[in-house]
A and B are shown apart, each in its own frame.
Chain A
Amino acid sequence: METTELTVNGKRHELEADSRVTLLDALRNHLGLTGTKKGCDHGQCGACTVIVEGRRINSCLTLACMHDGDEITTIEGLGEPGNLSDLQAAFVAHDGFQCGYCTPGQICSATAMIEEAKAGWPSFVSDDLAGPDALSDEEISERMSGNLCRCAAYPNIVNAIRQVAGGKS
């Protein structure tokens, strides 16, 4: 058993868990934060995306015990009914989902992705490695390629993200 201190959505938790427990399982099964979803459990679908120390990662591909002292933000920490984050509201306004299972991962991923773009990070489709001025639909799609949507709500997901990122279609 490993003892790990995690700060999740601003609240400190002391976790006692087997070394094999992933951050994803710690959030869902030990801390009861079931907004973060388990899709493939192999880093291929992005449903488990959370923000750790400001960076989006796949919570299924990291051990909880590796994150002693880390600050973690999950979908529950971004907003709540009556007080939605800009992206949460945009996903509702643009109908950026069908079944909704991938949505928490999409929103956590997009939240951090917008910050990456603001910091000037280029992507594979950026013509200039200095980074894009605005996020085109092509840029949004490339930067969100780690989040799959089996309902294929992609057009509306891109619309929602573009609205918040201030890009042009």
Chain B
Amino acid sequence: MKPFSYARANDRADATSQAADDATFIAGGTNLLDLMKLEVMAPDRLVDINRLDLDAISETEDGGLRIGALVSNSDCAAHVRVRQVYPVLSRAILAGASGQLRNKATTGGNLCQRTRCYYFYDTAMPCNKREPGSGCQALQGFNRIHAILGASDACIATYPGDMAVAMTALDVAVEIESAAGEVRLVPVRDFHRLPGDHPEKDNILEAGDLITAVILPPPVKGRQIYRKVRDRASYAFALCSMAAVVEMDGDRIASAALAFGGLAHKPWRDEAVEALLVGEKPNAALFGRAADQLLAEARGYGSNDFKIALTRRVLIAVLTEATQEGAAA
């Protein structure tokens, strides 16, 4: 690990002003310290934000939930109201990492976790995300875990997490405080970005920005499902995951919010797919058309070609489960 200075933030203003001056936040540290040991990341200054007052879960005026940025993944998944009202979020968090890691990992930190692209992790290899302009080895290399949607010639890395996939289906907002003290809300679906020509930027955070909370909307109607497909039964990243919130009106689909993990540089949501489903009676042909729409622009890079067929099957399986007769809300 490269040497760095360490300071504990006294309050939010102290934290954001230090970050605006080139310091890096550390919260749970489970991803950052892993990357610092490998010297994939080598910050000169760390600001420890763990003692800030951002670890509460509270109800919002409209009946939603405000989850502080320092709430651990374990506490968020186990929170009684999250389990009862937003089960897709509990399920997604529990699908990720291990018990030890979820105890340390935070809500804000999880949103900021970096890709697990092998070439990003290997400092002997070119990687445009780690070293802009150096090239992308994954394009021609082993790319089993890589993107099939929204990638660019500069980067085919995926966003690896589960939590943000469920949050994308739930239309969660990310609360961010800037170094100037301004607070803004960003829909989580706009928080992560596609790689384009700048894969070094994972998300829309600017220097000094501090995630302070995520805001869950009022209770949503419909059945909630999180499905994750991975190379082993537990403690592995998604090859493809899907969060679904599907509401039925009689025998027709009233609304569908669908988000996918493991497919792109961000949790993937396609409104055209959802529009195609709304008002229709669920059946195999409809779900097939939804998969055609979702995967119209999909592209494999060799080792990940299978993800196109896999995603089709996951979509059809989840929609079948979500719309079957007797499906409880």
Contacts and interface: CB of A to CB of B under 8 A. Distances in A.
B100 A62 contact: no
A129 B234 contact: no
A146 B87 contact: no
Which of B26, B29, B87, B100 has the largest number of chain A CB atoms within 10 A? Answer: B100
A129 B100 contact: no
A144 B100 CA distance: 9
B113 interface: no
A16 B100 CA distance: 26
B29 A61 contact: yes
B100 A120 contact: no
A113 B37 CA distance: 28
Given A19-B46, A66-B26, A56 B4 contact: no
A142 interface: yes
B78 A56 contact: no
B84 to A, nearest CB: 8
B46 A146 contact: no
Nearest to B5: A19
Contact of A124 (B5, B95, B100, B103): B95
Contacts of B234: 124, 141-142, 145
A145 B235 contact: yes
A57 B26 CA distance: 16
A9 to B, nearest CB: 19
A99 B84 CA distance: 43
Contacts of B87: 129
A7 B282 CA distance: 59
Interface in B1-38: 1, 3-6, 26, 28-30, 33-34, 37
Given A41-B37, A130-B83, A146-B235, A109 B99 contact: yes
A88 to B, nearest CB: 19
A56 B99 contact: yes
B6 A19 contact: yes
B207 interface: no
Interface residues of B, number: 36
Given A19-B4, A19-B5, A141-B234, A63 B33 contact: yes
B146 interface: no
Taking residues whose C-beta sits less than 8 angstroms from the other chain, chain A's interface range is 35 or more
Contacts of B58: none
A14 interface: no
A42 interface: yes
Interface in B35-67: 37, 46, 48, 50
Interface in A57-107: 57-58, 61-63, 65-66
Contact of B103 (A55, A63, A123): A55
A62 B6 contact: no
B193 interface: no
Contacts of A2: 6
A135 to B, nearest CB: 13
B289 interface: no
A147 B4 CA distance: 30
Contacts of B74: 55, 116, 121
B98 to A, nearest CB: 2
Contact of A122 (B29, B78, B98, B104): B78
Interface of B: 1, 3-6, 26, 28-30, 33-34, 37, 46, 48, 50, 72, 74, 77-78, 83-84, 87, 90-91, 94-95, 97-101, 103-104, 233-235
7 contacts: A19-B5, A42-B37, A43-B34, A61-B33, A62-B33, A109-B99, A109-B100
Given A56-B99, A146-B100, 6 more contacts: A22-B33, A43-B30, A56-B100, A61-B34, A63-B26, A147-B98
Counting from the closest, the 4 A-B pairs by CB-CB distance are A146-B98, A145-B234, A19-B6, A145-B235
